[in-house]
A = this chain, B = another copy of it.
Amino acid sequence: MDNRPIGVFDSGIGGLTVLKEIMEQLPNEDIIYFGDTARIPYGTRSKETVIKYSFQCINFLLSKNIKAIVIACNTASSIALEPAREKFDVPIIGVIEPGAKAAISTTKNNKIGVIGTSGTINSEAYQTLIRSMDKSAEVIGVACPLFVQIVEEGWEDTDVAMLAAEKYLMELKEHNIDTLVLGCTHYPILRYTLSKVMGKEVSLVNPAFETAKAVKEMIISNDMLKDSLDKPEYKFYVSDDPEKFRRIGGNFLRREIRSIEKINIENF
């Protein structure tokens, strides 16, 4: 048993969809979330910078005495997961691998679509990993840059979202995919719109959900569950203006964000 909190970090607010799934699947656990809002987006940074930033996030979380780390950012997961596992002596889980695994076990016709930011799609992180796990898989990646802003505006159920989704997903529909990976932490918020556009025959894979499942398995198999029956505590830290995070974050978590603090991540 281990009563220390789980640490989660993301380049900003999107990782809250991962946090939400962890809260649902491990409802007793304490969690500390760090959003590196001052340095978002990671997707346009060099590899060296993403590794440096990720190590700083991990150092900060370690200073809060956490028992495991979840990298809830697609860019950081694809670039910094392996270097971080080599450097730090703490269990670390990223979002790419659980999403890729779920895509392969879900598809029946071996045609998988992946959507994400330009950074994630151009990095080919999901595409390469899925193909390495199943050589027969056909994987088509499509960048959907507007979706993040649509979600941050709270416009996920509007005509704007619907029309943008129709434009972006047309190519994937033409390729007859049966599985769509939501390869950006913001996209689960859009899932009803995405599902409407793709149709019922296409399964949506939510890496946030799959990651939370992987975290739960790891925590249980390492005998690290919290055994105290105290109400779970959630603490939030950001590197820039907490108010925007609080306001938009509520839409992600579907609950009020109370304890939030700004820290200087450059000190870690």
Contacts and interface: CB of A to CB of B under 8 A. Distances in A.
Interface of A: 38, 40, 44, 145-146, 149-150, 152-153, 155, 158-160, 163-164, 167, 240
Given A38-B44, A44-B38, A167 B158 contact: yes
Point out which of A40, A146, A150, A155 has the most chain B C-beta atoms below 10 A from its C-beta.
A146
Contact of A163 (B38, B44, B149, B163): B163
Contacts of A146: 146, 149-150, 153, 155, 160
6 contacts: A38-B44, A145-B152, A146-B146, A146-B149, A146-B155, A160-B163
User: How many copies make up the complex?
Assistant: 2
Nearest to A150: B146
Given A44-B240, A145-B149, A145-B152, 10 more contacts: A40-B44, A146-B146, A146-B149, A146-B160, A149-B149, A158-B163, A158-B167, A159-B163, A160-B160, A160-B164
A119 B211 CA distance: 33
Contacts of A150: 146
Contacts of A153: 145-146
A149 B167 CA distance: 14
A121 to B, nearest CB: 13
Nearest to A146: B149
Nearest to A159: B163
**For the complex of A and B, 5 pairs with smallest distance between CB atoms:** A160-B163, A146-B149, A145-B149, A160-B164, A159-B163
